[in-house]
Amino acid sequence: MHQETSSKYSHLKKRAKFASGKSDNSSRENTKTLDFKEKGFRGDDRRGQSRRVKTDSVGSNVEDERYKRRSDSERNGSMKSKNDDYRSKRVERDGGFSFDDKSRNTDSRGRGLKSNYRGRKEGGVERNETNGFAGRDFDRKKRVYTNKFTNGETKFHDIVKAPGNKRESQEERGDTRKNDEHGENRNGFLRKNRGAKYETSKQTSFTEDHEYGKKKLQNKKNMADDSMAMFDRPKRKRRLIRIEYPNDTANKRFDNTPPTIDNTTEQKEDPEDTEENAEMSKNAQFRAIQLSPSIITFVNENLLGRRRELEFKKAGYNIELPSPLDNIPFSTNTERERIEESVFRNKLAFFAAAKVSSSFPSPDLPEIAFAGRSNVGKSSLLNSLTRQWGVARTSDKPGLTQTINFFNLGSKLCLVDLPGYGFAYAKEEVKESWEELVKEYVTTREGLKRVCLLIDTKWGMKARDHELVELMERSKTKYQIVLTKTDLAFPVDVARRATQIEESLKTKKSALQPLMMVSSKTGAGIRSLRTVLSNISRFARF
């Protein structure tokens, strides 16, 4: 540390040396070499070194004497800064006596604890005498001791701020007691300067404040004027418009002014808009359908509509089965044995396909046909009724069945899978031919006991369906409406659709009641349909 500081201020030392060297020449005879060991106030490390001290004209050591006069405590109690060499040497050059911080009594590790204590005690008195500086504050400050012999008194100079020293100076802390009487030290200068600075800043700030105050006053005045003007104005009434229900006009504020008719822009009716409105009104009509309690109980009892697996589980169905549950809960029989109607336990066998009416097979058995739009689930229903999956081919693409397919169910019934109508992945002429074939079949086929007209629960009856109904009405073909894919609609919507269709076919004579609702996927309503259809074979007369 010591070496570091000494190197730090080596340039100052050099300058001091240079300065003292001049005077050395003139007063070389007045100096003598002193052994530090002899004096004993230096540290051990400096033992053996010597320096030149001042002597008086007789040759006695002036410094030594003066040093004696000075109390050890004063010297040792100092916490002189490391950059004091220059000052001390300058004082020495000027004829004064100085000692640097190297002269402090230190312990083996270079600490000056003991001497500091002594310095506080003794040096503090002296300092108090001169500067009124309290000894207890001594260790907070870095001080330079310069002994000037000009006035024969000792002066203390505070180091205001050593370079790189972050500690507050005495003056900065506001302690003015440490300044000397004349106020000539650096603190005094700073104080003066600071005072001046403060004054100037005060002046500028005052002017600024003055201006700012003026502006503030003016603003206040303006605001007061404004507020007065506001008070003069009549208060606006707040009108709240609650639009909680868009169709509720009770809380709407109506404009009393007559509506201005803009002739330049004619409001054209958007056809899409009207169609949409019509569709919306259709939906609204659908939602407004009043349901009878009997249909609601039927839908719930047969677990029709979209339901959670938990409901099926609670009703006793084994939901682990890959095939439709068929509404026979808690049954230990095999799947085939679960079918209550024995006719549907028979093997479903495909035996004929017809593209034209001439290729229809001979009507040996009572026939039940399944008609409807493409992709409505005709083929799936056949499989579901007989629990023989894959006999009638199915696909999610509409238009798979393109011929009239005849299936024998044992020796008692014939099930007929018809091609669909409406949208299908096929050419228009092909589709037209299918439609013509279906129409011909349902109107002319002997042995046809019933047509199951399948309607998608989601979409309801469409124009083509109504067309076929009219055709069957004219030909007096018995038909029964079967709602399919009920598992894709909510139970309430299933009930609504059933009610809606029943209402629309009220006047139709060939339409048979009741309307059936099924789901080939879950098996809901299949058992009921089986029961209805098995009666055909029972009472059919050939």
Ligand X SMILES: Nc1nc2c(ncn2[C@@H]2O[C@H](COP(=O)(O)OP(=O)(O)OP(=O)(O)O)[C@@H](O)[C@H]2O)c(=O)[nH]1
- Tell me how far, at minimum, the Cβ of 375 lies from Mg ion, in Å: 8
Beta strand extents in 10-137 (DSSP E only): 31-35, 50-54
Whether the Cβ atoms of residue 138 and residue 112 lie closer than 8 Å to each other: no
Peptide bond into 363 cis (omega under 30): no
Residue whose beta carbon is closest to ligand X: 420
Binding partner selected for residue 395 from Mg ion, ligand X, none, CB under the kind-specific 5 to 8 Å limit: ligand X
> How buried is 439 (Cβ within 10 angstroms: 0-12 exposed, 13-18 middle, 19+ buried)?
middle
Our CB check for ligand X shows the closer of 123 and 324 to be 324
- Tell me how far, at minimum, the Cβ of 378 lies from Mg ion, in Å: 5
* Among 88, 98, 379, 486, contact with Mg ion (rule: CB under 5 A): 379
Residues at the site binding ligand X, with contacts judged by CB under 6 A = 374-380, 394-396, 398-401, 420, 484-485, 487-488, 519-521
* Interacting residues of 86 by C-beta distance below 8 A, sequence separation 6+: 9, 12, 13, 15, 16
Whether the Cβ atoms of residue 519 and residue 487 lie closer than 8 Å to each other: yes
Buried b (16+ CB within 10 A) or exposed e, 61-73: bbbbeebeebbbb
Which neighbouring-strand residues pair with 406?
352, 416
Binding partner selected for residue 396 from ligand X, Mg ion, none, CB under the kind-specific 5 to 8 Å limit: ligand X
- Tell me how far, at minimum, the Cβ of 241 lies from ligand X, in Å: 46
- Tell me how far, at minimum, the Cβ of 523 lies from ligand X, in Å: 9
Our CB check for Mg ion shows the closer of 147 and 394 to be 394
Q: How far apart are CA 498 and CA 484, in angstroms?
A: 11
Picking from 174, 201, 199, the residue whose alpha carbon sits closest to that of residue 187 is: 174
Establish if 405 lies at the interface with Mg ion (CB under 5 A): no
* Interacting residues of 500 by C-beta distance below 8 A, sequence separation 6+: 286, 289, 460
- Tell me how far, at minimum, the Cβ of 374 lies from ligand X, in Å: 4
- Tell me how far, at minimum, the Cβ of 533 lies from ligand X, in Å: 17
Our CB check for ligand X shows the closer of 123 and 399 to be 399
Binding partner selected for residue 73 from ligand X, Mg ion, none, CB under the kind-specific 5 to 8 Å limit: none
Our CB check for Mg ion shows the closer of 371 and 516 to be 371
Binding partner selected for residue 519 from Mg ion, ligand X, none, CB under the kind-specific 5 to 8 Å limit: ligand X
Our CB check for Mg ion shows the closer of 42 and 387 to be 387
Q: How far apart are CA 406 and CA 350, in angstroms?
A: 6
Our CB check for ligand X shows the closer of 91 and 303 to be 303
Q: Could you tell me how many residues make up the chain?
A: 542
- Tell me how far, at minimum, the Cβ of 514 lies from Mg ion, in Å: 25
- Tell me how far, at minimum, the Cβ of 266 lies from Mg ion, in Å: 51
* Interacting residues of 81 by C-beta distance below 8 A, sequence separation 6+: 101, 142, 143, 144, 159, 162
Binding partner selected for residue 375 from ligand X, Mg ion, none, CB under the kind-specific 5 to 8 Å limit: ligand X
- Tell me how far, at minimum, the Cβ of 393 lies from Mg ion, in Å: 7
Binding partner selected for residue 103 from Mg ion, ligand X, none, CB under the kind-specific 5 to 8 Å limit: none
Binding partner selected for residue 491 from ligand X, Mg ion, none, CB under the kind-specific 5 to 8 Å limit: none
SS (H, E, C) 427-449: CHHHHHHHHHHHHHHHHHCCCEE
Q: What token pair was written down for 210? A: 């003055």
Whether the Cβ atoms of residue 67 and residue 103 lie closer than 8 Å to each other: no
Our CB check for ligand X shows the closer of 36 and 434 to be 434
Check residue 167 and report its DSSP letter.
S
At 432, the amino acid letter reads E
Placement of tokens 């020796």 in the chain:
411
Q: How far apart are CA 477 and CA 453, in angstroms?
A: 11
Diameter of the chain measured on Cα atoms: 168
Binding partner selected for residue 105 from ligand X, Mg ion, none, CB under the kind-specific 5 to 8 Å limit: none
SS (H, E, C) 266-308: CCCCCHHHHHHHHHHHHHHHHHCCCCCHHHHHHHHHCCCCCCC
- Tell me how far, at minimum, the Cβ of 372 lies from ligand X, in Å: 6
Our CB check for ligand X shows the closer of 55 and 528 to be 528
Binding partner selected for residue 398 from ligand X, Mg ion, none, CB under the kind-specific 5 to 8 Å limit: ligand X
Our CB check for Mg ion shows the closer of 327 and 401 to be 401
Binding partner selected for residue 376 from Mg ion, ligand X, none, CB under the kind-specific 5 to 8 Å limit: ligand X
Contact flags string 383-402 toward Mg ion, x per CB under 5 A: ------------------x-
Q: Which stretch binds Mg ion (CB under 5 A): 72-80, 266-274, 376-384, 469-477?
A: 376-384
Our CB check for ligand X shows the closer of 55 and 484 to be 484
Task: Please tell me whether residue 335 adopts helix, strand or coil conformation.
Answer: helix
Binding partner selected for residue 533 from ligand X, Mg ion, none, CB under the kind-specific 5 to 8 Å limit: none
Our CB check for Mg ion shows the closer of 34 and 352 to be 352
- Tell me how far, at minimum, the Cβ of 377 lies from ligand X, in Å: 3
By CB under 5 A, the count of residues binding Mg ion is 3
- Contact residues: Mg ion, CB under 5 A: 378-379, 401
